[in-house]
Structure 1
Amino acid sequence: MFNKILIVCVGNICRSPTAEKLLHSALASSCIEVRSAGLAALQDHPLEPMASRLLEERGYTLLAHSARQLTRAAVSDADLVLVMEQRHIDGVLEVAPEARGKVFLLGKWQHDREIKDPYRQGRSAFIHAFALIEQATQAWASRLLS
């Protein structure tokens, strides 16, 4: 059973907090805790405005977000670590080598699809990333809740 899930990207201001919100919402009927962090976090920065806007437009209530750096303790505390790109797996394992076996792509159930960073690329890139994150979080939620 997975009780604590950690979602990781680079800056922790776009993809991972979006995935955190979507997965948390999809798992609302469970006691599973979902958090996020960044490999090179823009520490203490809020959610990127376009990511925030897309969440709001789709009816998600936003709480204050403050980007946080990935730590060994955060990885150790998690039962499952989900990342956006293959290279992020290496980044997580560099921080916590003992995590091998519990780090997977968020897009695992979509043929190990990577979700590229939309940062500084405009609304269409954010919409594309959001759609991929939404598909991936729904796939994980259906497996975690079954």
Structure 2
Amino acid sequence: MMRKLLAVCLGNYCRSPFAELALARRGGAAVTVRSAGLIGKWRDQPTNPSMINAARRLGFDLTLHRAQQITLKMLEWADDILAMDAAVLDTLRAVAGEPYAGKLGLYLGDRDVPDPMGRGDEVFHDCAVLIEAGTALHIGRDRP
């Protein structure tokens, strides 16, 4: 059975769009991955240009992504909901409630993926490297 993963950050503008691509690449046909943000500020907007560049440096193309806000249907769809940081996780717990508690967790397991917004290109690059490495926590290491 195919696993369904949902990566969530604040605006679906930097971290979760890249996590979606990185998880999909690592998981291949075994996973379906989506991403969303808690807020709709960047809805229908392309990914932050600095994250597009960071992704490109790692061999990923984020140019087609458009931000979307999380919906109840997305929470229902997902097998695992991966929050990029503790603040996002706390909000998801409050909004989603008990029915989804078992699906919720931090993307890096026990620590945050720092939000690179407003920082320099190297911070975005470091963030992307961290997110790509974090795919191993969710998808077996035996995958290419």
How far the C-alpha of 1:113 sits from its partner, in A, is 1.6
How far the C-alpha of 1:36 sits from its partner, in A, is 0.2
State whether structure 2 residue 34 is matched by structure 1 residue 35: yes
- Determine the structure 2 residue equivalent to 1:53: 53
Aligned residues of 1:2 and 1:144 also touching (Cα < 8 A): no
Across the aligned residues of Structure 1 and Structure 2, the Cα RMSD in angstroms comes to 1.8
- Determine the structure 1 residue equivalent to 2:118: 120
The farther-off stretch of 1-10 and 45-54 is 1-10
Secondary structure of the structure 1 residue equivalent to 2:87: helix
Runs of 4+ in 1 over 4 A off after TM superposition: none
TM-score with structure 2 length normalisation? 0.89
How far the C-alpha of 1:2 sits from its partner, in A, is 6.0
CA distance in 2, matches of 1:13, 1:101: 26
The amino acid across from 1:107 in the alignment is L
How far the C-alpha of 1:143 sits from its partner, in A, is 6.5
The amino acid across from 1:105 in the alignment is L
Cα deviations by residue, 1:67-100 (Å, 9 ceiling, x for unpaired): 0001111111111000111121121123211210
The amino acid across from 2:129 in the alignment is A
Secondary structure of the structure 1 residue equivalent to 2:7: strand
Quote the sequence identity (%): 35
Unaligned runs of 5+ in 1: none
- Determine the structure 1 residue equivalent to 2:26: 26
CA distance in 2, matches of 1:63, 1:122: 19
Q: How many residue pairs align between the two structures?
A: 141
CA distance in 2, matches of 1:7, 1:18: 9
Aligned residues of 1:38 and 1:67 also touching (Cα < 8 A): yes
CA distance in 1, matches of 2:20, 2:75: 15
CA distance in 2, matches of 1:27, 1:90: 27
Cα distance change of structure 1 residues 144 and 119 upon mapping to structure 2, 3 Å threshold: farther
